[in-house]
Amino acid sequence: MDRNSRIFVAGHRGLVGSAIVRQLAETGYTDLVLRDRSQLDLTDQAAVRAFFDREEIAYVIIAAAKVGGILANERCGADFIRDNLLIQTNVIDAAWRAGVKKLLFLGSSCLYPKHAEQPIKEEALLSGPMEPSNKPYAVAKIAGITMCQAYRKQYGFNAICAMPSNLYGPGDHFEPETSHALPGMIRRFHDAKMAGDPTVTLWGTGTPRREFLYVDDMADACLHLMERYDGEDIVNVGPGEDIAIGDLAGMIRETVGYPGTLGHDLDKPDGHPRKLMDVSRLFATGWRPKIGLPEGLQRTYEWFLKNAAPPAPAQPAPAQPISHAAE
């Protein structure tokens, strides 16, 4: 990509989008086109088409999506499938109509079948039943991948698709009820530490295994793919190693400095038993992640403390000393 080309990052305020913007700026790209939801509603087809007709965009990275953890997916499935279908359909179609040179669409490792063979190869997509708890989101995102591939085949549109592993880092959402597992645990351990709670109870058994990629590494991989990959096949993006959720909780507890114990609510779902992706296709292009999990957790917690931590509870007034002079 030419450093002076106009690049539209859809979803630039989110976890992935903000990291991509940082990476683009640090790499020397000078003409970034950014719009928040109040300026451009990506679910509005007419507004999106008018935007592309007006702005003469050369490259597009779609990091805009409605996302959430297990609870959010269970409660708001209609919102997830509707909004994501609208966003990606409007942007992909308008980008093609406007003559965009290249587009990157981001999927997710949760689109793969629940019991896919590990590590998961890209060919496993649609080879078996998906995890029910995030089916509306997964169906929408798979439709986006299929759309990119169909537009490439029928119209010659250079649209590529990446499948990130679980992402975390600065800009994440840390609400205990609606966030993904890692930022949710950071918030819960922090709150418990501040409140002096003796135990933090985690959802499920703690045995499912996940791989986690620091979001700045994901942004670096996105630029790498935009500059070096033009294939139809989707590309897995991750570190190539995973960790049990229970072990991750231990690492987060240590990072936060929480002195209490861990409990498990076995009535809550685990989700996928394991999600480790085969990243050999990406690694073969010369890309590797730079930030390991311990360093990434420390950076994320430091960002949380500065930007997202709730105010510390007011301390009670110190007790007045009891005078024994009259005794």
The pLDDT score that the predictor gives to residue 321 is 35
- The alpha carbon of 278 is separated from its chain's Cα centroid by a whole number of angstroms, namely 18
Binding-site positions for substrate read 188, 203, 210, 270
Residue 20 host element (H or E) = helix 15-27
User: What DSSP state is assigned to residue 160?
Assistant: E
pLDDT of residue 290: 97
- The CATH class of the 6-307 domain is alpha beta
Per-residue pLDDT of the chain (327 residues; tens, 9 = 90+): 899 999 999 999 999 999 999 999 999 999 999 999 999 999 999 999 999 999 999 999 999 998 877 777 778 789 999 999 999 999 999 999 999 999 999 999 989 998 899 999 999 999 999 888 889 999 999 999 999 999 999 999 999 999 999 999 999 989 877 778 899 999 999 999 999 999 999 888 999 999 999 999 999 999 999 999 999 999 999 999 999 999 999 999 999 999 999 999 998 877 778 889 999 999 999 999 999 999 999 999 999 999 998 886 655 444 333 333 332
Ordered by start, the domain boundaries in the chain are 6-307
pLDDT on residue 313 = 60
pLDDT of residue 318: 42
Q: Which residues are annotated as a binding site?
A: 11-17, 106-109, 141, 164-167, 180, 188, 203, 210, 270
Q: How far apart are CA 252 and CA 65, in angstroms?
A: 27
In whole angstroms, how far apart are CA 304 and each of 16, 292, 294, 307? 16, 18, 15, 5
Would you list which residues are annotated within the binding site for NADP(+)? 11-17, 106-109, 141, 164-167, 180
Q: Rounded to whole angstroms, how far apart are CA atoms 145 and 112?
A: 12
Q: What's this model's pTM, rounded to 2 decimal places?
A: 0.90
DSSP symbols for 202-230: EES-S--EE-EEEHHHHHHHHHHHHHH--
**Which residues are designated catalytic?**
137
pLDDT on residue 134: 86
